[in-house]
Structure 1
Amino acid sequence: MKKLSKTLIVFVITVLLLAACSSKSAEQAGGKNDINLLFNFATSSLDPNVDTSYVSLRAGITETLVHLNDESLKIEPWLAESWSSEDGQTWIIELRNDVTFQNGNPMDGAAVKASLERAMKDSIAIKNALRIESIEAEGHTLTIKTEVPFPEFPSELVHPNTSIIDVTETDFVNKPVGTGPFAVSSFTPKTAVNLVRYDEYWDGTALLETAKFSFNEDANARSLALQSGDADIVFRPEVESLDSLKAIEGMKVESTSTFRVHQMTMNLQRKPLQDINVRKAIDALIDREMVAETILKGHAEVATGPFPSSFSFAPDYPEKKHGIEIARDLLKEAGYTETNNVMQRDGKPLELTLLTYSSRADLPLIAQVFQSDAKQLGIKVTIQQIEIPEEYMAANRDWDLTTYSNLTAPRGDAGYYLNATYHPKGALNFSGANDNQLTEMIDQLNGTVGQQERSDIAEEIAAYVDEQVYNSFILHPNTLVAYNSAKVKNWVTSRSEYYMLTNKLSVN
C-alpha cells in the first residue's frame, strides 16, 4: 500500500511537471490566447504622430479622439465624448472621464492638449491638416480654436497621426504609451511589435492576453507564413496564392472594397510633365482593365477618378480614349516626334524616372507594364525602387512618376484627399500642385457645411483635377485579408484599414 502511494505521488508530480512544461512551451510559442498579424508595411518607429504606416493605431496601442464607423461612414465619439461649435471655428470637446493611459496616468484635458501640440510640432502634415490656432484645457474639456472657420474639423481628428499619447513617456519610437487595449511589450524595428493586454482598458479588457503585429513586405512570404502557421492573420496576401489559401480547411479570405486608389502620381515640377498633353499621353498609356484583371485578378474596380463610383462626390467623367496610338497623337500635339524609335522634342529624348515600392506587390507590376507600353512609343522609363514613398517623394524631386496607393475618403468625405493632395500646404501634395483656381475651390469646400453642398463642390474639384490630369488614376483595389478562422475569432476587415487589433479580437 505504501509502495502504491509512492507510485501515485510520483505519477501526479510527473503529470504536473509535464503540464507545466506544456504550458510554458505554449507560452513561448505564443500560446492559444495570442494572435500574430502579419502586415505588409514595415516600420522603424512606433511614433504615432509621424509613422505613415499607422502601426500604433492599427495594433491597438493608441486611439484617436474621433472614430470612423466603417458601415455608416460617419464619425462617432471615441476618446472624445462629444464636440460642438457655434461658428465652425471655436470647438468645445468633452473628453471621456474614465480613460487612463497604459501607465495608469489619467487622460484629461491637459494630457490631450499636450499630445495634440506635440503632434503638430513634430508633423507639419498634421499641423496643416488641423489648422489649430490655440488649445485650452480645463478638466476634461478642451476649447480649440482653428485658424479659420473649419466645419469639418472633427473629421480630421480621425487621422491616425492625431493619436493621443502620454507625452511624459518620451520613448515615442520604441514604446509610445497610449490608451488602447494593448501596451507595447517589446519592439524590433522593421520586424515586429509584441503586445500585452492592458487590463484597465476603458472599453473592456481585451479578450487576447498577448498579440504580435509583425511586418514583411514580401507578399509571397506573407502567404507562406499563413500556410505554415507562423501567422494567424495576413494583410494583403499574394493575389496568386488566394485560391490555394481558400483550399485549406479553416482558412478564410476576405476581399473588401475600400476607399483606396492606385494612382500614377506626376511630378509637376519636371518640365515634360508641365505640358498637359504629355500628362494626357501618360494617362492614355495605362490599360486599366488589363491591370485589374491580370495583376489584381479582378479584386479591384477600374478607376475613372480618385473616388470610387459609390461616393456621391464622384463625378460622371467624360469617356476617354486610351491606347498607344492615342498617346502618340497627344505627344505629337506636345511637339514630340518619334525618330529612330526614340520619342523626342528639340533633339532631346523623352525619358522618365518612375518610382515604385514593393510593400504593395501590385505596384511594381503596374510600373513594369507601363514601362513596356512606353517603350513601344520610344519612351525610356527607368524604374527605381524606394522603401517609404511618402518620405522619398517629399524629400526628393529627381523623379517624374510614382505608382502610389492612397486612401482617398477614409472619413467618408472628400475633404481629406483633396486638401492633402492638391492644396499647396497638403501633406500628400507630392505632385507640387499649386493652382490658384484649384486652391480657391478647396478653400471654399473647407468652409462649407452640409453634406450635399460639400459633395457638389467636391464633385466640381474632382472634375477639374481630371481635366488638368494632375495625377492619373488606375484602379480601386480591394483590401485582401486571409486568416485562420479555425483559430481567429471576431476579426473585422475594416474599409478604412485603420482598426485591426481590437479588444474584441479573440481565439477559438
Structure 2
Amino acid sequence: MGKKWFTSLLTVLFVLSLALTGCSSSSSSGGSAGDAKQELTYATTSKVVGLSPILTNDSVSSTVIEQIYETLFVRDNKGEIVPHLAESYENPDENTWVIKLKKDIKFHDGTPFNAESVKYTFDKLKDPATAAPRASLLAPVSSIEVQDEHTVVLKTEKPYGPMLAALTHSNAAIVSPTADKKQDLMKDPVGTGPFKFSEKVNGDDIVLVKNEDYWQKPAKLEKITFTVVPEVSTAISMLQTGKVQLIDALAPELMPRLEKIKNVETQKVDGTPVYYLAFNMEKAPMNDLKFRQAVSQAINREGYLKKLNGLGVYSNSFIGPEVFGHPKDDKGPKFDQEKAKELVKASGFDKKEVKMLVANTASYMNMAEVIQAQLKEVGIPAKIETLEWGTYLDVSKTGDFDITIAGWSNVTGDGSELLFPRLHSANIDATNLSRYKDAELDKLIEQSRSVVDQEQRQEILTKADEYVMTQLPVLPIYHGIASAAYDKSVKGFKMEPTGQWSLYSVHRE
C-alpha cells in the first residue's frame, strides 16, 4: 500500500509540475496574450553611431534618437508645422521668436523640462567647441534668452525664414542638462520622449522601454529592440519567421520577395530624401565643369529608376518634389551617352581613374555599381571604395575621395535646410561633402534663409536650384520613396515623407 501511495504521489507531483511549467511559460512571455505582444524588434543593417541628437547627424542613429527625444515643433499629418514641446510662439518683430513651452514635463531622469533646458541645448548645439554636425540649424540665432521658466526667446540678426522648420529637426531635440553634464549622451541618452534607454546588448543592439511617466498617454509598446543584422536578406528571413517585426529603407530588388510573404505588410510614401553624386570640388578633374557634365550625361538616371520597383522618383533638380522650394522647370543635364564620350575623349578624362567612396549599404552599393558601369561605357575609369557606415561618415567629411554617393533625408522638408548644409561654403569639413565654395550660390542660400515671406523664398530657392543644376557640384540620382515592411501584428505604424517614424502610436495584435 505504501508503494502505491508513493506512486500516486509522484503522479500528482508530475501533473502539478506540468501545470506550473505551463504557467511559467505563459508568464515569461508577458502574462496575457495582449501583454506578450507589446514588444517590437526593428532590424537595421548598420550600427548606430551614437545617441545624442547634438552630436549625430545620420539616419541610422536618428531612428533611435527620435523615440527617446522630442523637439519644440513637429510636422503634422498634413505637413504643417505645429507646436509639440512648445505650447505656442509669436513674433513681436521679424528677428524675435518668443516660444512658450508646455508645463509639467520631465526628462527621463526627473529633470524638469523648461526654458533653461532649451537654452542649454541650443547653446551647446551652437557652440563651435561642440562641433555639432548640424549647428547650421541655429546658425542665424544670435541669442537665446530665458524670459521665465516656460518662455524662451530666440533672436536673430536678420530674419530667418526656416526657423520653425529647423526646430522640427531631430538634431534640435532637447536634452536633459543634468544628464549631459553627468554622462555621455552618445551612450546613455536622456530625453522627454515616450521611450527611454534601457541597455545596449551584444555590443550593438539597443533596447528601449516604455516611459511610464510620459507627459502624454504612455506608449502601448513595452519594449523596443534595435538589432543590427548586417545582411538584409537575413533581416527579411527574420521578418518572415517573426524574430523581427520591422525593417525599413527597403532596397528595390527586395520588394517582390517582401510582397509575397503572407505575414508581412509593406508601406510606401512619396518622400523627401535625395540620393546624389557629390564631386570633390577641391580635386581635378572634378573641379572641371566639363568633367561633371560628362558624368551627368553618362548616367541614365531615368533608366536606373526602372530598377527601383517604385521606390524612387525622377526629378532633374536637387530640391525634390516633396520639399519646399522645388522648381517647376527642368534645368538639369540630360542623359546623352554620345556627348559624354566626346567630352571624355576631348578633355582626356579617360586617362585617370577616379575613386568613388561608398557606404556599404545595399542601396548605395547597387547605385555605385550601376554608376561605375555607365562611366566605364563613356571611358571614365572608376574604382569603388566601400566603408562601413560610421567610418564612411567620418571619411566623407575629410574629402578623401574623388566622387561619393551621398543621401540627405530633408527632415525639415525645407529646401534651405538642404542647400545650406550640403552646399554652403560655411559647411566644408562638415556636411558640405562636395567642398563647394561659390559666392553666388552662398548668397542665394543666405537669401533663402533670411527672407520670411514664403513666396519670395520659393523664388530664391528655384534660382538656387537652377544654379546648382548648371554648375553641378552634385548630381541628383533620384528622390526617395520612404518605405518599410512589418509584421501584420504591428498596428498603427505610419511612415513620414522624411523616412522617419515614431513607435509611440504603435501596438501589436
The verdict on a shared fold, with TM-score over 0.5 as the criterion, is yes
State the 4+ residue runs in structure 1 displaced beyond 6 angstroms: 3-10
Number of the residue aligned with 1:130: 138
Number of the residue aligned with 2:472: 469
Q: 2:163 aligns with which of 153, 156, 179?
A: 153
CA distance in 2, matches of 1:6, 1:386: 63
The equivalences for 1:47-62 within 5 A come to: 47-51=52-56, 52=58, 53-55=60-62, 58=65, 60-62=67-69
The equivalences for 1:62-461 within 5 A come to: 62-69=69-76, 71-121=77-127, 122-131=130-139, 132-137=141-146, 138-169=148-179, 170-188=183-201, 191-294=204-307, 296-309=308-321, 313-315=325-327, 316-318=329-331, 320-332=333-345, 335-337=346-348, 343-344=349-350, 349-359=351-361, 361-387=362-388, 388=390, 389-394=392-397, 396-408=398-410, 410-426=411-427, 427-461=430-464
Greater alpha carbon shift after TM alignment, 106-115 vs 183-192: 183-192
User: How far 1:423 sits from its partner (Å)?
Assistant: 1.3
CA contact (8 A) 2:95 2:156 kept: yes
What SS does the aligned partner of 2:494 have? coil
The one-letter amino acid of 2:325's match is F
Aligned CA-pair RMSD: 2.6
Number of the residue aligned with 2:39: 34
CA distance in 2, matches of 1:57, 1:244: 27
CA distance in 1, matches of 2:332, 2:406: 24
Q: Percent of pairs identical after alignment? A: 26
CA distance in 1, matches of 2:306, 2:50: 36
CA contact (8 A) 1:354 1:384 kept: yes
Deviations 1:413-450 (A, max 9, x none): 21100111121123521111111111111111111122
What SS does the aligned partner of 1:425 have? helix
Number of the residue aligned with 2:496: 494
CA contact (8 A) 2:280 2:435 kept: yes
CA contact (8 A) 1:268 1:432 kept: yes
User: How far 1:148 sits from its partner (Å)?
Assistant: 3.3
What SS does the aligned partner of 1:85 have? strand
CA contact (8 A) 1:220 1:238 kept: no
CA contact (8 A) 2:251 2:363 kept: no
What SS does the aligned partner of 1:273 have? coil
The one-letter amino acid of 2:422's match is T
CA contact (8 A) 1:91 1:145 kept: yes
What SS does the aligned partner of 1:274 have? coil
CA distance in 1, matches of 2:224, 2:132: 32
User: How far 1:57 sits from its partner (Å)?
Assistant: 5.3
Deviations 1:289-327 (A, max 9, x none): 221112x12321123112333556322114744233111
CA contact (8 A) 2:298 2:374 kept: yes
User: How far 1:483 sits from its partner (Å)?
Assistant: 0.5
Deviations 1:2-21 (A, max 9, x none): x9999989866753452123
What SS does the aligned partner of 1:498 have? coil
Cα distance change, pair 164–320 in 1 and its aligned pair in 2 (3 A): closer
Number of the residue aligned with 2:484: 481
Structure 1: gaps of 5 or more residues: 338-342
Structure 2: gaps of 5 or more residues: none
CA contact (8 A) 1:63 1:179 kept: yes
The one-letter amino acid of 1:49's match is I
CA contact (8 A) 2:134 2:171 kept: yes
Number of the residue aligned with 1:340: none
CA contact (8 A) 1:179 1:201 kept: yes
Deviations 1:352-406 (A, max 9, x none): 11011122x1221221122222223332211111223432211x22311111121
CA contact (8 A) 1:49 1:119 kept: yes
Aligned length in residues: 487
CA distance in 1, matches of 2:89, 2:439: 33
CA contact (8 A) 2:75 2:82 kept: yes
CA contact (8 A) 1:43 1:189 kept: no
What SS does the aligned partner of 1:499 have? coil
User: How far 1:236 sits from its partner (Å)?
Assistant: 2.5
What SS does the aligned partner of 1:270 have? coil
CA contact (8 A) 1:81 1:93 kept: yes
CA distance in 1, matches of 2:165, 2:321: 22
CA contact (8 A) 2:49 2:61 kept: no
The one-letter amino acid of 1:210's match is K
